[in-house]
Amino acid sequence: MSATTDHLAASALSSQARVETPFRRFVSDFFESKVATGACVMLSVIIFIALFAPLISPQNPYDLAVVDVMNARLEPGEQSWSGDLTFVLGSDGAGRDMLSAIFYGLRISLSVGVMSGIIAMIIGMVVGLMAAYFGGRTDTVIMRIVDLQLSFPAILIALVLIAILGKGVDKVIIALVTVQWAYYARTVRGSALVERRKEYIEAATCLALSHRRIVFRHLLPNCLPPMIVVGTLQTAHAISLEATLSFLGLGLPQTEPSLGLLIANGFEYMLSGKYWISFFPGIALLVTIVTINLVGDQLRDVLNPRLER
C-alpha cells in the first residue's frame, strides 16, 4: 500500500499540472518496458498494414485479371515480364506478388483472429458470469461443459468442425469461436467468484436491483482486466490456429490465400530452393503472433494487482 502512495506522490511531484487517473497510470506503467513499447509500435504497424492493405499493396493479389502466371516463382527483386512491377519479396507459383499477398494475408489473419476473439469473449463472458453469479447447478453444468471442451485439443475440435461445416471465412470463425469461448468462460468465472463476495455486490443485492443490472453493470466491469489479457493472448492463439487450418488446406479458398495457405503453397517449393514463397509469410506470421503475445504479457503484468511495483 505504501508503495502506491509513494508512487502517487512521486508522479504528483513530477507534473503538478497533470492529474493522476487510473488510465494515465496504466499507460505509464505499460510503457515502462522497452520491449513492450517496441511490440506496441510493431503491432500498430501491422494493424495499419492490415487496414490499408488495398492502398499500399503494389498489386491486388486476389484479382485474377492482374495476377499473371507468366510471373510465376520470380526471385525477390525481379521484374515482371512486362516490366511494370518489381517483386520485392518474389512471387508465388501463380505469379502473385508475395509482398501484396502477405499484406492481404495479414488482413485476413488479423480480422479472423480479432472477430473470433471478440465473439468468443462475449459468449464466454456471459456464460462465465452466469455460472459465477447463480452458482449451484447452473455453475456445475456450465463448468463441466467447459472442462469437457478444454480436455480436447483445440486443433482437433476445429478440424472436425471445418470438416462438417465446409470451407470459408465464416466457417473458420465459427470453428475458432467454438474452440475458444471456454477459456473466456473459465477466466471470467474465476474473477467473478471473487468479486461476488465483495460488499458492493451485497449492497446492490440489498437494493433489489435486477440480476441483469448487477451482473452487467457491477460485476462485469470489475472482471474486465483479466479478460483483456486473455483476449489478447487468445487472439494470437486464434491467428495461429487459423494459419494451421489454412496450412492443412481447410481454411480459405486457393485464390484468396491467408498467411497459412501462403506458407502451405510455398512448402512444396522448399526442396527446390525457392525459399521465399513460404519463408516471408512465415516471418510475417511469426512477427504478428510474437508482437501480440508481448503486448498481452505486458498487459497481464500491468493489470495484475498482485504484482505491485
State which of residues 70, 164, 206, 207 lies at the interface with other proteins (CB under 8 A).
70
- Note whether 78 binds other proteins by CB under 8 A: no
State which of residues 65, 164, 207, 307 lies at the interface with other proteins (CB under 8 A).
65
- Note whether 271 binds other proteins by CB under 8 A: yes
- Note whether 83 binds other proteins by CB under 8 A: no
Q: Which stretch binds other proteins (CB under 8 A): 110-118, 144-152, 208-216, 248-256?
A: 248-256
State which of residues 254, 286, 290, 304 lies at the interface with other proteins (CB under 8 A).
254
Interface with other proteins (CB under 8 A), residue total 24
CB closer to other proteins out of 248 and 303: 248
- Note whether 68 binds other proteins by CB under 8 A: yes
- Note whether 268 binds other proteins by CB under 8 A: yes
- The DSSP line for the chain is -HHHHHHHHHHHHH-SSS---HHHHHHHHHTTSHHHHHHHHHHHHHHHHHHHHHHH-SS-TT-TTT--GGGTTPPTTEEPTTSS-EETT-B-TT--BHHHHHHHHHHHHHHHHHHHHHHHHHHHHHHHHHHHHH-HHHHHHHHHHHHHHHTS-HHHHHHHHHHHH-SSHHHHHHHHHHHHHHHHHHHHHHHHHHHHTSHHHHHHHHTT--HHHIIIIIIHHHHHHHHHHHHHHHHHHHHHHHHHHHHTT-SS-TTS--HHHHHHHHHTTGGGT-THHHHHHHHHHHHHHHHHHHHHHHHHHHH-TTS--
Q: How far is the CB of 254 from other proteins (least distance, A)?
A: 6
State which of residues 8, 9, 72, 283 lies at the interface with other proteins (CB under 8 A).
72
Q: What residue ranges bind other proteins (CB under 8 A)?
A: 63-65, 67-70, 72-73, 93-95, 249, 253-255, 267-274
